[in-house]
Structure 1
Amino acid sequence: MVWLSPATLAGRTSLALLAGLLVFHFGSVWLLERGVRDALEEAREVHVADHAAMAARVLGALPNELRGAAARALSTPAFEADWSWRAAANPAADDAALAPLRARLVQRAPDLAGLHLRLGLAPAEDGGPRRIRGAMRLADGSWVSFAAPSPDLAPVPTHASVASLTAMAFGIVLASVLVVRWITTPLRRLAKAAEGFGRGAAPVPLPEDGPREVCEAARAFNAMQARIHRLVADRTQALAAVSHDLRTPIQRLRLRAGFLDDGEAQRAIDADLDEMEGMVGSTLAYLRGETESEEPRQADLAAILRTLSDDASDRGASVTYAGPDRAVLSLRPLAAKRAFANLIDNAVKYGGGARVTLSDVSKDATVWIEDDGPGIPEAEQEAVFEPFHRLDASRNRGTGGSGLGLTIARQVIAAHGGTVSVANRQGGGLRVTVRLPRSGACAAGAEAKTGQRA
């Protein structure tokens, strides 16, 4: 049935509207026909009930010798009446299936309730419609018999049109939802791919199918993915080559500084070279994040945090860990370790130490990293995650820093489907809050690399 689908999105939308209108049209015609049929059945029942009640009243008020002629005078092609001292319809042959019809006739003409109305089905004659035969007993014991075309034995449903219209509307809504989903599935697929690629995922070619407009968009998106991926790869490779080439003159400068007689100048030059090497290394780590392909696996977050805290303590920093002994999540361990190392180092540099706390709950794992430093102004709390952004207070040789530590940390946490934020603590200091999904932690970025750009 695919070949019946229009090639364009406009065509498919028109087809959906046309299909809905056709369903509504045929449904309306069906409702109209059913309403007319029900009205005819109701009118037939009213006709039979009224004529039967009228015949019983008229014949019951006449002398016996006039009743036969009067019954013949009351007869019509649709209602034949007769009077006799015995019932024309055998009461024993009264069909139980006609009980609902009898109840409806009595409801439409209450006078029939006291006449011991009996009904039976007469066999069809010469292929004609079946007829009902009825008998009513008058007060003197005589019987008025009648025959009429058989109404529909099934009861006419109350509010049938409303119920049918509701069911039809529900069917139209359901069909419209399915058709709209069919039309918009390629668009949702394109939006999902764009979101993943925007977060740093490797290019995943979209299938170029669906409406013509969607095919053109998918083709353009695939070409854009390829161009951007080539651009990033070329830039990363070029910068990696430049940084590699920079190491040689840095080492030559370091060697020459060693021959200086001025110890103060030598230490200043060594500090500058160390800062240059740190900046080159941080920049490479930031750029490598876009091309690394570490796969997520089950890892112990508590062990990672405990190891980082112990390593910092061994270097003389005041770093403590509090939390569970084990917290297994789906992680990219190396990337996660680099992110939390950056956060802890940031707290040690600018806050004099760090208190690392892990809250292991059933849904999310939350990590708090607190320090006793000066904190960050509220206006700068989001800007510190931007690449190469440093606060004025940190621009000194004592702290150094390239302005990429928090940026890399946010990229890695975002690639795990988590969030990282900073806030000042009451009484001084900074609190960094990291939340990681416990189940399917990397599901949101399963195809993303560890260095997604925040």
Structure 2
Amino acid sequence: MKPKRTGTRRPRDTLARWIALTTLVAMLTLLALNALFSLLAGAWARPPLMETGLIEKIAAITRIIDSVAPEQRPAIARAASDRLFSTQWLQHHEDARLPVVDDPEYSDGATLLRQQLGRPDARIEGYEPSDWPADQPGGRYAAMIELSDHSWVMFSLPARSWGLEEWERNLIIIALILLSAFIVALVATRHLAAPLERFAEGARRFGVDHQAPPIPVVGPYEIRQAILAFNAMQAQLKHFIEDRTQMLAAISHDLRAPLTRMRLRGEFIEDTEQQSRLFRDVDEMQAMINSALEFFRDDARLEHPTAFDLAELLHTVVDDFKDAGSEVAFDGAPRFVYTGRPIGLKRALVNLIDNAIKYGGEPSVQLKAWDDHVEIHILDRGPGIAPEFREQVFTPFFRLEGSRNKNTGGVGLGLSAARATVLEHGGTLALDNRRDSGLQVRVSLPLN
């Protein structure tokens, strides 16, 4: 006996079904609005003939003409004519010169018209513009009513002009189509766009804060699957970052013990020059380890974003360098509110300005605000950096020869840490040589 197959149940809330449902609901809404328009505004837009009062008017004129002598009828017919229609009294039916149709008998409203005339057997004929041949001009609406002496009264109308014009009615129908489509699209897009917006916001938040919580799994099936995949990737990245940080921090910490033993053993070296070289190497390695521990255990990365005055932060950093004896010029707005992690940004800016002081001279800081981002320029008058090294200098522990050497005290982590902080804010950090001489560090931060 074969095992019974169990198929995977298809999810109901999918994008394909929402698109099909949106189209169907838009069509049904259009039909409902059109029916409502015809029901509520039909008499105003294009009222039926019996609701226009025209039949009562024709019946009254016909009764008057039928009640007077034949010689008075042409004058009364002319007097009864107006801008809406013309009235003629005709001795014979042939005088009307109407087209030949299969059934000229008028049916719509004929019963009411006969009641108004008081003659149940009265002959009534009706003609429309389409009854005239295409090669014969003069097509119009016409009504023929036979009088009691078998003469005729003809009422002619060039067009049915009561109510709204055809282009006005079409305009209303188009407006109803657009309205129904807009209403349905608004409801559908709010249902679809809301989870997409939360998805995008969660992705941007994770870009600047790897400790951000997972994105809520809501929305159609395809969007939920994308959110689940992103949350899984986010969890894996967080786990990888934590494991890498702990591993590198542990390695850096464990290196302290052999360095301490090397220093102790160096005390027994009798050669003063060799002992001095060993101690310099140990001190340099100790400085690298301390910098690495500070880099990997950066508490600023756990800092939550907050709104702060970026201009005031730059003023504080510049003043701190001035208090330490280094003149740093500042040019920018006195106040600029930015949302980010102030401790991390301050540490990055201190590293960049410190590099400008050590390796360039005449440091200056500029703050420039745009509609969608803010830029911080740090300028110096040093030798600059060759183009082939402008990306390599961001590699941890990489140091340029010459202007940047181990005698300055740096270990090659300042630019790496600064760029990491800027990238965590969703920004960019770039290096460019100035035209005359010097280096320009451009920090660009997006405005949320």
> What TM-score range do you get, normalising by the shorter chain?
0.5 to 0.7
Counterpart contact for 1:302–1:358, Cα < 8 Å? no
Against the structure 1 CA distance between its residues 223 and 322, is the aligned structure 2 distance closer, same or farther, given a 3 Å change threshold?
closer
Residue 8 in structure 1 maps to residue 14 in structure 2: yes
Counterpart contact for 2:422–2:445, Cα < 8 Å? yes
How big is the shift at 1:419? Answer: 4.6
How big is the shift at 1:436? Answer: 5.6
Against the structure 1 CA distance between its residues 435 and 292, is the aligned structure 2 distance closer, same or farther, given a 3 Å change threshold?
closer
Counterpart contact for 2:359–2:382, Cα < 8 Å? yes
Residue in structure 1 matched with residue 201 of structure 2 by the alignment: 192
* C-alpha separation in 2, matches of 1:320 and 1:369: 10
* Segment drifting more, 283-292 vs 404-413: 283-292
Residue 321 in structure 1 maps to residue 318 in structure 2: no
Partner-residue secondary structure (3-state), 2:377? strand
Residue in structure 1 matched with residue 84 of structure 2 by the alignment: 108
Against the structure 1 CA distance between its residues 325 and 268, is the aligned structure 2 distance closer, same or farther, given a 3 Å change threshold?
farther
Residue 225 in structure 1 maps to residue 234 in structure 2: yes
* C-alpha separation in 1, matches of 2:19 and 2:389: 48
* Segment drifting more, 23-32 vs 243-252: 23-32
Paired AA for residue 304 in structure 1: T
Paired AA for residue 348 in structure 2: A
* C-alpha separation in 2, matches of 1:55 and 1:289: 102
Which digits, 9 at most, give the CA deviation of each residue in 1:383-423, with x for residues without a partner?
Answer: 54454555565674345644431232133334456554322
Paired AA for residue 251 in structure 2: V
* C-alpha separation in 2, matches of 1:294 and 1:262: 49
* C-alpha separation in 1, matches of 2:241 and 2:355: 28
Residue in structure 2 matched with residue 211 of structure 1 by the alignment: 220
How big is the shift at 1:430? Answer: 0.5
Against the structure 1 CA distance between its residues 243 and 293, is the aligned structure 2 distance closer, same or farther, given a 3 Å change threshold?
same
Partner-residue secondary structure (3-state), 2:217? coil
Residue 375 in structure 1 maps to residue 392 in structure 2: no
**Where do 1:24-43 residues align within 5 Å?**
24-26=30-32, 41=48
* C-alpha separation in 2, matches of 1:376 and 1:110: 96
Residue in structure 1 matched with residue 141 of structure 2 by the alignment: none
Paired AA for residue 306 in structure 1: V
Residue in structure 2 matched with residue 98 of structure 1 by the alignment: none
Residue in structure 2 matched with residue 96 of structure 1 by the alignment: none
How big is the shift at 1:179? Answer: 0.4
TM-score (norm 2): 0.64
* C-alpha separation in 1, matches of 2:351 and 2:294: 11
* C-alpha separation in 2, matches of 1:7 and 1:167: 29
Paired AA for residue 7 in structure 1: D
* C-alpha separation in 1, matches of 2:268 and 2:201: 59
Partner-residue secondary structure (3-state), 2:378? strand
Residue in structure 2 matched with residue 272 of structure 1 by the alignment: 281
How big is the shift at 1:63? Answer: 12
How big is the shift at 1:348? Answer: 3.1
Against the structure 1 CA distance between its residues 54 and 294, is the aligned structure 2 distance closer, same or farther, given a 3 Å change threshold?
same
Partner-residue secondary structure (3-state), 2:301? coil
Which digits, 9 at most, give the CA deviation of each residue in 1:299-318, with x for residues without a partner?
Answer: 531443224423653xxxx5
Higher RCO (CA 8 Å, separation ≥ 6 residues): 1
Partner-residue secondary structure (3-state), 2:359? helix
Q: Calculate percent identity across the aligned residue pairs.
A: 32
Counterpart contact for 1:305–1:356, Cα < 8 Å? no
Paired AA for residue 179 in structure 1: A
TM-score (norm 1): 0.63
Counterpart selection for 1:309 from 301, 318, 321? 321
Residue 397 in structure 1 maps to residue 401 in structure 2: no
Counterpart selection for 1:156 from 164, 168, 182? 164
Counterpart contact for 1:302–1:327, Cα < 8 Å? no
* C-alpha separation in 2, matches of 1:334 and 1:379: 32
Residue in structure 1 matched with residue 255 of structure 2 by the alignment: 246
* C-alpha separation in 2, matches of 1:154 and 1:202: 71
Against the structure 1 CA distance between its residues 303 and 348, is the aligned structure 2 distance closer, same or farther, given a 3 Å change threshold?
closer
Structure 1 stretches lacking a partner, 5+ long:
72-82, 88-101, 113-127, 134-144, 147-151, 445-454
Partner-residue secondary structure (3-state), 2:255? helix
Against the structure 1 CA distance between its residues 200 and 361, is the aligned structure 2 distance closer, same or farther, given a 3 Å change threshold?
closer
How big is the shift at 1:204? Answer: 0.8
How big is the shift at 1:238? Answer: 2.3
Residue in structure 2 matched with residue 355 of structure 1 by the alignment: 363
Which digits, 9 at most, give the CA deviation of each residue in 1:307-350, with x for residues without a partner?
Answer: 4423653xxxx542335796474564432331112102222343
* C-alpha separation in 1, matches of 2:421 and 2:199: 24
Which digits, 9 at most, give the CA deviation of each residue in 1:7-32, with x for residues without a partner?
Answer: 33332232222212333455566778
Residue 426 in structure 1 maps to residue 432 in structure 2: no
Residue 65 in structure 1 maps to residue 69 in structure 2: yes
Counterpart contact for 1:319–1:354, Cα < 8 Å? yes
How big is the shift at 1:219? Answer: 3.3
Structure 2 stretches lacking a partner, 5+ long:
1-10, 89-111, 118-152, 155-159
* C-alpha separation in 2, matches of 1:258 and 1:132: 133
Against the structure 1 CA distance between its residues 233 and 290, is the aligned structure 2 distance closer, same or farther, given a 3 Å change threshold?
farther
Residue in structure 1 matched with residue 26 of structure 2 by the alignment: 20
Paired AA for residue 239 in structure 2: R
Paired AA for residue 108 in structure 1: L
Residue in structure 2 matched with residue 75 of structure 1 by the alignment: none
Against the structure 1 CA distance between its residues 327 and 436, is the aligned structure 2 distance closer, same or farther, given a 3 Å change threshold?
farther
Counterpart contact for 1:327–1:360, Cα < 8 Å? no
* C-alpha separation in 1, matches of 2:295 and 2:375: 24
- Aligned-CA RMSD value: 4.9
Which digits, 9 at most, give the CA deviation of each residue in 1:197-255, with x for residues without a partner?
Answer: 23343141222333233333333433333333223222222222221111121222233
Counterpart contact for 1:200–1:290, Cα < 8 Å? no
Q: Alignment length, in residue pairs?
A: 367
* C-alpha separation in 2, matches of 1:35 and 1:328: 60
How big is the shift at 1:372? Answer: 1.9
* Segment drifting more, 242-251 vs 36-45: 36-45
Counterpart contact for 1:421–1:432, Cα < 8 Å? yes
